[in-house]
Amino acid sequence: MKNITGGVCAAQGFVAHGVHCGIRKNTSKNDLSLIVSEIPCSAAAVYTTNLVKGAPLIVTKAHLQNGTAQAVICNSGNANTCNADGIKIAETMSELTAKELGISPDDIVVASTGVIGQPLSVDPIAAALPDLAKGLNPDGGHEAALGIMTTDTVAKEVAVEFTLGGKTCRIGGIAKGSGMIHPNMATMLVFLTSDVAISPEMLQKALSGDIQNTFNMISIDGDTSTNDMVVILSNGKAGNPEITRDDEDFAVFMKALNTVTVGLCRMIAGDGEGATKLLECVVSGAKDTATAKTVAKSVICSSLLKAAMFGADANWGRVLCAIGYSGADVDVTKIDVSFKSAKGEILVCKDGAGVDFSEEIAKEILLEKEIEILVDLGSGDISSTAWGCDLTYDYVKINGDYRT
């Protein structure tokens, strides 16, 4: 398994492009992306659990009912959510895209991200579609990645190459992260593409299983978005024997998928709104998976700890506090906590109580950009990891006046 470039176009038979169509005011930023496979794909998706759902999710869900799709159209700058005519707009986006590509509207994944509750006009999208389609190319993954960004500061692309049945296979993906992100099913926009031959059922199984340990283990701000979805399209062009059951090939596929999704998770967490640091909470010694996950997510979600990490302050009491209110059944007197980064590792709490440690060394460790918070529950051998970011002045700034 090796990391490669190309993002959403790394897999054979995929082309993509992104343009500025006019939904976002800033003309230097793409706001419309298109990803297309040469041939129809097995398709699978997971969606936000928020009761308030963006209209595009409802339309996409209907389109993916048959397990097949061929293209993704996505705009940023407007979520098309809580709009009276939202469904109609999302359907029109699908129809216009399908017409431009000469395929069925049922094979379109439609997505929107941005402000909630503002009317979305389909006009700029309709006007831009011919150029968008004309520009589709095998190197267009980056332009597409740019087009789905909102307050993201960097485009998020990952791809890997691996072998199945002697054939070279690829999985790649792009993500939109930044804010309104909380672990509860799919929690952001992620489009994954693959050239592996795999049935829609097994593709859904792979995706649904994978997100439990990846996209469901990220939190930026505790707000589960209305528009989140993770979609994967797999067109079979690699020519491997089709994966139709839970066999060795499926395990290899799962591993490759996980490499891409963990890569995207780390990018999303590290580029959380206003973030200066990627936080990774690794919980070990848990008696079961639920406990490990609950503790890891509670730590990563604590506003107080996030603010302390911004200040490079080894305030481990906030880690213990977050574990204590997580709802997990843990023995506090068995918990050890360490902080770790490229500068080293330091134990700050042993058996639930503070230990003498050098504040100077702790500060040096916490001034790094990637921080691991290591929690050993001392009660078993199950582990889990969650990803998040620090809480900064810029989070407040970005969200204090996002709409204007």
Cβ-based neighbours of 247, under 8 Å, separated by 6 or more: none
Nearest distance, CB of residue 177 and a second copy, angstroms: 14
Q: Which of 62, 103, 126, 321 binds a second copy (CB under 8 A)?
A: 321
Residue environment code for 11-30, b if the CB has 16+ CB neighbours within 10 A, otherwise e: bbbbbbbbbbbbbbeeeebb
304 sits near a second copy (criterion: CB under 8 A) = yes
332 sits near a second copy (criterion: CB under 8 A) = yes
The residue to which tokens 């979805």 are assigned: 229
Take residue 286 and report the two structure tokens written for it.
């848990």
354 sits near a second copy (criterion: CB under 8 A) = yes
Percentages helix, strand, coil for the chain (3-state, rounded to 5) are: 35, 30, 35
What single string gives the DSSP state of each residue in 292-339? HHHHHHHHHH-HHHHHHHHTT---THHHHHHHHTS-----GGG-EEEE
Query: How many Å apart are CA 371 and CA 367, to the nearest integer?
Result: 9
Query: How many Å apart are CA 288 and CA 293, to the nearest integer?
Result: 9
- Of 81, 97, 151, 187, the catalytic one is 187
24 touches 76 (CB < 8 A): yes
225 sits near a second copy (criterion: CB under 8 A) = yes
The residue to which tokens 């797999």 are assigned: 234
Our CB check for a second copy shows the closer of 214 and 392 to be 392
Question: Taking CB under 8 A as the criterion, which residues in 372-391 touch a second copy?
Answer: 391
Q: Which of 82, 103, 126, 382 binds a second copy (CB under 8 A)?
A: 82
Amino acid identity for residue 391 in this structure: L
Our CB check for a second copy shows the closer of 242 and 313 to be 313
Query: How many Å apart are CA 320 and CA 219, to the nearest integer?
Result: 18
Q: Which of 315, 343, 361, 364 binds a second copy (CB under 8 A)?
A: 315
Question: Taking CB under 8 A as the criterion, which residues in 165-184 touch a second copy?
Answer: 179-180, 182, 184
Nearest distance, CB of residue 351 and a second copy, angstroms: 8
Phi and psi, residue 11, nearest 5°: -75, 145
13 sits near a second copy (criterion: CB under 8 A) = no
Our CB check for a second copy shows the closer of 86 and 172 to be 86
- Is 62 in a helix, a strand, or coil? helix
307 sits near a second copy (criterion: CB under 8 A) = yes
# binding residues, a second copy (CB under 8 A): 63
199 sits near a second copy (criterion: CB under 8 A) = no
* Closest by Cα among 372, 378, 218 to 291: 378
101 touches 122 (CB < 8 A): no
254 sits near a second copy (criterion: CB under 8 A) = no
Stretch that binds a second copy, among 124-132, 236-244, 349-357, 364-372 (CB under 8 A): 349-357
322 sits near a second copy (criterion: CB under 8 A) = yes
Cβ-based neighbours of 282, under 8 Å, separated by 6 or more: 296, 372, 373, 374, 375, 383, 384, 385
138 sits near a second copy (criterion: CB under 8 A) = no
The DSSP bridge partners found for residue 398 are none
Q: Which of 8, 35, 158, 323 binds a second copy (CB under 8 A)?
A: 323
Site string for a second copy, 101-130 (x = CB under 8 A): --------------xxxxx-----------
Nearest distance, CB of residue 288 and a second copy, angstroms: 17
244 sits near a second copy (criterion: CB under 8 A) = no
Our CB check for a second copy shows the closer of 2 and 360 to be 360
Our CB check for a second copy shows the closer of 146 and 319 to be 319
* Catalytic residue status for 259: no
Task: State the pairing for strand pair 382-389/278-286.
Answer: antiparallel
Residues with a catalytic annotation lie at: 187
Q: Which residues bind a second copy (CB under 8 A)?
A: 49-53, 79, 81-84, 115-119, 179-180, 182, 184, 221-226, 301-304, 307-308, 310-311, 313, 315-318, 320-325, 330, 332, 349, 352-354, 391-393, 395-404
